[in-house]
Amino acid sequence: MTTSLEQPTPAVLDDPETAVLEVARRAREASRALATATRATKDAALRALADALVASTDRLLAANAQDVERGRTGGMSPGLLDRLALTPQRIAGIADALRELAALPDPVGEVVRGSTLPNGLRLQQLRVPMGVVGMIYEARPNVTVDAAGLALKSGNAVILRGGSAAASSNEVVVEVLSGALVAQGLPGDLVQSVDAWGRPGAVALMHARGLVDVLVPRGGADLIATVVREATVPVIETGVGNCHLFVDASADQADALAILLNSKTQRVGVCNAVETLLVHADAADAFLPSALAALGAAGVTVHGDARTLALAPQGVATVAATDADWATEYLSLDLAVRVVDGLDAAVEHVRAWSTGHTEAIVTQDLRAAERFVAEVDSAAVIVNASTRFTDGGQFGLGAEIGISTQKLHARGPMGLAELTTTKWVVHGDGHVRP
């Protein structure tokens, strides 16, 4: 085995577990150089990566065309094909995202807490890189670049396992980024992929405890469930969003309608789109007929309970809702709708069915707003605004690596700080414990 910058070709290492552990060891070694790198070094590297991607536009397009062709013949949906496809404009956009990362503050070195203890010991809790971050994700080559950029800025090496649908694109992306790092005097092993070892390689990555510090799965519910079940490396669960909007009796109805349409239709395939509307029984007669009509006009199919369906105007596509609807993250122009007897029933519904991502209330009643905020146990709780705001960029965190729906380490949008850990540094003068 080698630890030099000259990597063996994947074929040399046949056993996926051995090969992936070697990748992880090289990543850990490479991360040491980056952990103490200055912000100037990291930012220069990010700008060099951006330039290298743009300079490699032709190669990237050629590789991407293979992925798109394979997807088309394999029957991939037009929506997914669109997300997979690169264009010169999209490559320029991906490169710009790296330049924007360079402009963000460096989380590493931040003093999180500090004090001088009664005995004179000087105590500091400093933000430091994790070390090695693993990403397991699906499709979309821009995620490959985002993940590499976020890891680099936060001082971490990254090991990528992308979806097979984007395998050709990702291979070239990793090659370009790795080469650009070496040209900047940084280890190429800071950005590596384990795609060459297929599913067994992904499993080996999930078991590389001690070499990989955190694993971030990003994709559908099945992918995330598999990683959570299989991994011994600590995992941050991201993204599954069965989000709710509750229209209270006191809601401003114009606000409620605008927030509902924005939450459902501004973009449908995303984790912070609303999937279930809950309406206070006292507001149902006034609100639902026009709201359902507006949803219908926007092409939304309403999966309603009996009280909802009784208020649906003609011409709106409706389906009788079952428990399966309350549990579903549609990611499509479908919406579950239920009339509830009040705030308590709304909170109970959310507690029973939510994935803990984002829930919103529209209300003019201060006590209702405060109770909803206190009693709903989700990563983001929103009063009188669209669920679509739960997003690293919208929250002002800059780029984001995902939205955590678990409670450990990070909850909600994860930016650069969430890719770091802390270290306690203690300075004494011969201090011993009495």
> Which residues of the shown chain bind its own copies in the complex (CB under 8 A)?
32, 35-36, 115, 117, 121, 123, 125, 128, 130-131, 209, 213-214, 228-229, 232, 234-236, 252, 254-255, 258-259, 261-262, 266, 369, 373-375, 377-386, 388-390, 394-396, 406-409, 411-413, 421-433
Residue with Cβ nearer its own copies (228 or 293): 228
Q: How far is the CB of 327 from its own copies (least distance, A)?
A: 13
- Least Å distance, CB 255 to its own copies, is 4
* Residue placing its CB nearer to its own copies in the complex, 81 or 383: 383
Instruction: Return the number of the residue (185 or 234) whose C-beta is nearest its own copies.
Output: 234
Q: How far apart are CA 434 and CA 432, in angstroms?
A: 6
Coil vs helix vs strand at 180: helix
Fill in the amino acid letter for 232.
T
Q: How far is the CB of 278 from its own copies (least distance, A)?
A: 18
Minimum CB distance to its own copies, residue 229 (Å) = 6
DSSP E strand boundaries for 55-185? 111-116, 122-129, 132-137, 157-161
Least separation in angstroms between CB 149 and its own copies: 21
Q: Which is nearer to its own copies, 54 or 383 (CB)?
A: 383
* 3-class DSSP state of 191: strand
Distance CA 217, CA 229 (A): 12
CB of 162 to its own copies, least distance (A): 23
CB 282, min distance to its own copies, A: 20
Cβ atoms of residues 387 and 243 within 8 Å:
yes
Given the complex with its own copies, which of 55 and 425 has the nearer CB atom? 425
- Judged by beta carbon, residue 117 or residue 183, the one nearer its own copies is 117
Least spacing, CB of residue 61 vs its own copies, in Å: 31
Tell me how far apart the alpha carbons of residues 263 and 360 are, in angstroms, rounded to a whole number.
10
> Please, which residue, 20 or 369, has the CB nearer to its own copies?
369
Measured CA to CA, the distance from residue 78 to residue 380 in angstroms comes to 32
- CB neighbours of 299 closer than 8 A, spacing ≥ 6? 265, 333
72 or 423: CB nearest its own copies: 423
Residue 257 CA: distances (Å) to CA of 263, 330, 371, 384: 10, 20, 22, 11
**222 membership: H or E segment, kind and range:** helix 221-230
| Torsion sign, CA atoms 357, 216, 102, 417 | positive
Q: Which amino acid is at 339?
A: V
**Minimum gap (Å) between residue 110 Cβ and its own copies:** 12
- CA–chain centroid gap for 275, Å, is 18
Quote the least distance from Cβ 426 to its own copies, whole Å: 4
Q: What is the pairing mode between strands 243-247 and 358-362? A: parallel
Give the torsion sign (CA, 289, 291, 295, 297).
positive
Closest to its own copies by CB, 32 or 199: 32
Radius of gyration of the chain (CA): 24
Burial tier of 200 (Cβ tally within 10 Å: 0-12, 13-18, 19+): middle
* Smaller CB separation from its own copies, 49 or 347: 347
The DSSP bridge pattern shows strands 358-362 and 132-137 to be unpaired
